Structure 1
């Protein structure tokens, strides 16, 4: 996610859905996604979204090839494209709850940023609410549920961070029960990576309290305001 610029915005599409209004806008050379009245992300940068995937991969145990990753939130596709560019990921599942966002990708609006990643045979795009998906019983591919052995990494970017959610019910993801759900879906030594528009000491403490190890926060400076961050934690 990135800060919006100041050029005049042009609405390309507007949808009403079960989670509120979803809007696709063009502002200058960039595209923006507005969810439920909240600026969510644009195509102006992408460094922190790429870091979300890179940091999770780097934190995995050495020698763990054929790894699987769940990306929570398709967005403009920066994280997906980064994952698809790394051959170490053998399975890339992307969960997106907004049908509008999936349709915008299928229509090619973000093709310049995804570099054909949606056609990668390792990629499975799942239309579902992430919170419900985390609680879905494991199932073999190509069923709709998580893999039976769990994931090696969860890279979650569905809000502007644990302290700035798009919808109120998303807050449960960052609660003790939500962090337990994430931990249960990870293989031993698996990595939880969470994007945020600002650091959160409270979320770091929540991760430690939920039994994760190696908790740390990686920062990406932005042109104005506090840095974007990626929270990293490991299932012991």
Structure 2
């Protein structure tokens, strides 16, 4: 039997309409009528952070672009490697839901004193010479191949990748979440970074999620 979806809240976001709906024991976030994220699994969102932090030492500075339902932030705090985790999220309502409906998904991670929360467009914030970071985890929209909001495409452009690379320390790592393989993006990534790896993550339904891992020497 199909579970009934209940709309918990609708809001006008900065990039279009947002809706939070409950389906059984889980929540889904819908952006401009298109499914964006849910609380059912989260393995790829957690792996996004683990891959960024592998081989890293304690006391690092981590940037997470996109709060989502809080899975990535919770994983970063669980690792105990980060002295400071900066989370940049453009939508105020996503932040509000993470403090209410979605708080249990991350163990109320936003309340952790190691977290610096920024409510702003990531590309705009990065242009102000913020950084440098030991690692950057990028989980904005549905990834580089399918953006619900056109404005998010700038982060995955050549200019956006160059900006992300500049904000990393030497030896730093960028990880990028994607809902599917993005060959053109991978080629651009290889031009901007010294080493690139693609990791496929099986999901319960549909094509695997993909995480791109890019490093600077």
| TM above 0.5 | yes
Q: How many residues get paired?
A: 217
- RMSD after superposition: 1.5
Which whole-Å CA distance do the structure 2 matches of 1:59 and 1:175 have between them? Answer: 28
Segments of structure 2 that go 5 or more residues without pairing to the other structure are: none
Deviation at 1:124, TM superposition (A): 0.8
Aligned to 1:170: 152
Aligned to 1:21: 17
What are the Cα deviations for residues 143-187 of structure 1, in whole angstroms up to 9, with x where unaligned? xxx34xx11111011121111012112111111100001011111
2:93 matched to 1:100?
A: yes
C-alpha contact (below 8 Å) 1:59/1:191 kept by paired residues: no
Q: TM-score, normalised by structure 1?
A: 0.88
C-alpha contact (below 8 Å) 1:155/1:193 kept by paired residues: yes
Segments of structure 1 that go 5 or more residues without pairing to the other structure are: 1-5, 138-145
What are the Cα deviations for residues 106-153 of structure 1, in whole angstroms up to 9, with x where unaligned? 2x211221113212111011100111111123xxxxxxxx34xx1111
C-alpha contact (below 8 Å) 1:80/1:114 kept by paired residues: yes
Which whole-Å CA distance do the structure 2 matches of 1:197 and 1:35 have between them? Answer: 15
What are the Cα deviations for residues 29-66 of structure 1, in whole angstroms up to 9, with x where unaligned? 10011122221100000000000000000154xxx331
Aligned to 1:227: 208
Pick from 216, 222, 232: which aligns with 2:197? Answer: 216
